[in-house]
């Protein structure tokens, strides 16, 4: 078993050497100006990555799931109405969390492989004359299906219905890899984690709150302690947390943001798009299809690839790990056994992507699928040769 191969799971992603070292720190006083020199720049940089002037950034020692909980418990009260579409495992889990917190979720069942139905949102919001719906949830990138949704369209649906509900966006597998526009899209809470676009180990929940979401905290009555944003804000004012922060990871986050902003956000997004297009060229050459139904919803961070009927897609993942020491993602929930996933986000180059494509191809041939060795690799090579930028 090698630790040298890159992983192709859609998070946690590959950690650049520089960031691994940045996380490896001697102990410092976590209630001191020295910690403030890590904390404040990290929060400022995250704000830039969200493309926001307005957002207040909070970083919890948690994971993306804790970010969901931060969003809900700080802004909502028991019995509040929430509108959400279920189009994959991650939107499903956020809905489940709402229900467990005693929220009343109106669920729009949406085929797995489709994007969020902004038109259905508009109809439902327009019919909600008394403005009972307090929040609309939107999963920007459904990691289970490799589907990207149009958050701008969800904002337009809210505006067309003239509805005051807040817009909460799960950007765990999009932020820092695909374009995200907190201010332009009128996002009220954005949620992400450290282990996907930020190229770090899991351990941080990263959230942005709009002024409107901060206002909602004043009346929200759901219980919250660990994830209370006001306790956190008080800590920040003193270069500290209400408890002990994950100092090493915070230092890593600060450095990750510097790396991303140095590369340039638009270049980061273009790199993800280029790598994804190469993977999609390979899928086409294999004669396979994506779970994502239309090109408009193709994700630039993960591809869920459908395998032929009567074939268990999970076998590819097991075989890749056993024989080649390479990790791909399994299908989750409704698409378990029907798809395998190639994660292509974070610290990744064309050359690394080619190794993943080559490995997936070997596995499929080993397992008897009708795929020609070299076909996907050649398709991706052709794409990368003709669309590359200087390394
Ligand atoms: C990974 C992921 C999550 C869950 O985050 P954790 O850090 O595992 O808690 C939530 N939403 C999406 C879209 C994800 O990809």
CA of 65 to the centre of ligand 1 (A): 6
**Cβ-Cβ contacts under 8 Å for 36 (sequence gap 6 or more):** 239
Please count the other Cβ atoms lying within 10 Å of the Cβ belonging to residue 3.
5
* Positive or negative: CA dihedral 106, 111, 112, 117: negative
Q: Per-residue pLDDT tens, the chain, 391 aa: give them.
A: 678 999 999 999 999 999 999 999 999 999 999 999 999 999 999 999 999 999 999 999 999 999 999 999 999 999 999 999 999 999 999 999 999 999 999 999 999 999 999 999 999 999 999 999 999 999 999 999 999 999 999 999 999 999 999 999 999 999 999 999 999 999 999 999 999 999 999 999 999 999 999 999 999 999 999 999 999 999 999 999 999 999 999 999 999 999 999 999 999 999 999 999 999 999 999 999 999 999 999 999 999 999 999 999 999 999 999 999 999 999 999 999 999 999 999 999 999 999 999 999 999 999 999 999 999 999 999 999 999 766 5
Rounded Cα–Cα distance for residues 131 and 145 (Å): 32
User: What is the pTM for the complete model shown?
Assistant: 0.98
**Cβ-Cβ contacts under 8 Å for 372 (sequence gap 6 or more):** none
Pocket test for ligand 1, best of 88, 172, 191, 330 (most atoms within 8 A of CB): 172
* Residue 366 and residue 319 in contact, taking contact as beta carbons nearer than 8 Å: yes
Pocket-forming residues, ligand 1, beta carbon under 6 Å: 11, 63-65, 90, 139, 141, 143, 170, 172-173, 193, 202
The closest-lying atom of ligand 1 relative to the alpha carbon of residue 173 is 15
Q: Give the CA-trace dihedral at 333, 336, 339, 342, to 10 degrees.
A: 70
Rounded Cα–Cα distance for residues 231 and 24 (Å): 27
H or E segment at 190? strand 189-193
* Residue 74 and residue 195 in contact, taking contact as beta carbons nearer than 8 Å: no
What are the residue ranges of helices labelled H in 286-374? 314-319, 350-366
């Amino acid at each position: 078993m090698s630790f040298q191969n890159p992983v192709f799971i859609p998070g946690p992603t590959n950690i650049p050497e520089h960031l691994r070292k940045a996380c490896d720190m001697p102990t410092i006083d976590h209630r001191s100006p020295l910690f403030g020199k890590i904390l404040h720049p990290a929060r400022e940089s995250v704000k830039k990555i969200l493309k926001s002037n307005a957002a207040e950034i909070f970083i919890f020692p948690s994971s993306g799931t804790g970010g969901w909980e931060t969003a809900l418990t700080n802004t909502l009260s028991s019995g509040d109405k929430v509108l959400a579409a279920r189009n994959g495992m991650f939107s499903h889990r956020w809905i489940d969390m709402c229900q467990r917190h005693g929220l009343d979720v109106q669920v729009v069942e949406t085929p797995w492989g489709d994007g969020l139905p902004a038109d259905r949102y508009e109809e439902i919001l327009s019919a909600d004359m008394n403005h009972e719906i307090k929040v609309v949830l939107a999963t920007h990138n459904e990691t289970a299906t490799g589907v990207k949704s149009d958050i701008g369209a969800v904002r337009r649906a809210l505006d067309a219905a003239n509805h005051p509900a807040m817009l909460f966006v799960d950007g765990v597998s999009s932020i820092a890899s695909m374009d995200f526009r907190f201010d332009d899209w009128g996002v009220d809470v954005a949620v992400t984690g450290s282990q996907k676009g930020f190229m770090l180990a899991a351990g941080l929940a990263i959230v942005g709150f709009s002024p409107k979401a901060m206002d909602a905290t004043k009346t929200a009555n759901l219980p919250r302690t660990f994830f209370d944003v006001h306790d956190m804000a008080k800590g920040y004012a003193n270069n500290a947390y209400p408890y002990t922060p994950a100092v090493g990871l915070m230092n890593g986050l600060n450095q990750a943001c510097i790396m991303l902003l140095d590369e340039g956000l638009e270049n980061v997004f273009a790199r993800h798009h280029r790598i994804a297009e190469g993977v999609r060229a390979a899928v086409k050459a294999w004669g396979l299809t994506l779970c994502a139904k239309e090109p408009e919803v193709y994700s630039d961070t993960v591809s869920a690839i459908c395998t032929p009927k009567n074939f268990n897609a999970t076998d590819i993942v097991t075989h890749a790990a056993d024989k080649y020491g390479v990790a791909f993602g399994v299908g989750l929930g409704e698409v378990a056994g029907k798809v395998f996933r190639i994660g292509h986000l974070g610290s990744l180059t064309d050359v690394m992507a080619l190794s993943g494509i080559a490995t997936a191809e070997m596995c499929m041939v080993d397992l008897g699928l009708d795929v020609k060795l070299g076909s996907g690799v050649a398709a991706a090579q052709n794409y990368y040769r003709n669309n590359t930028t200087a390394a």
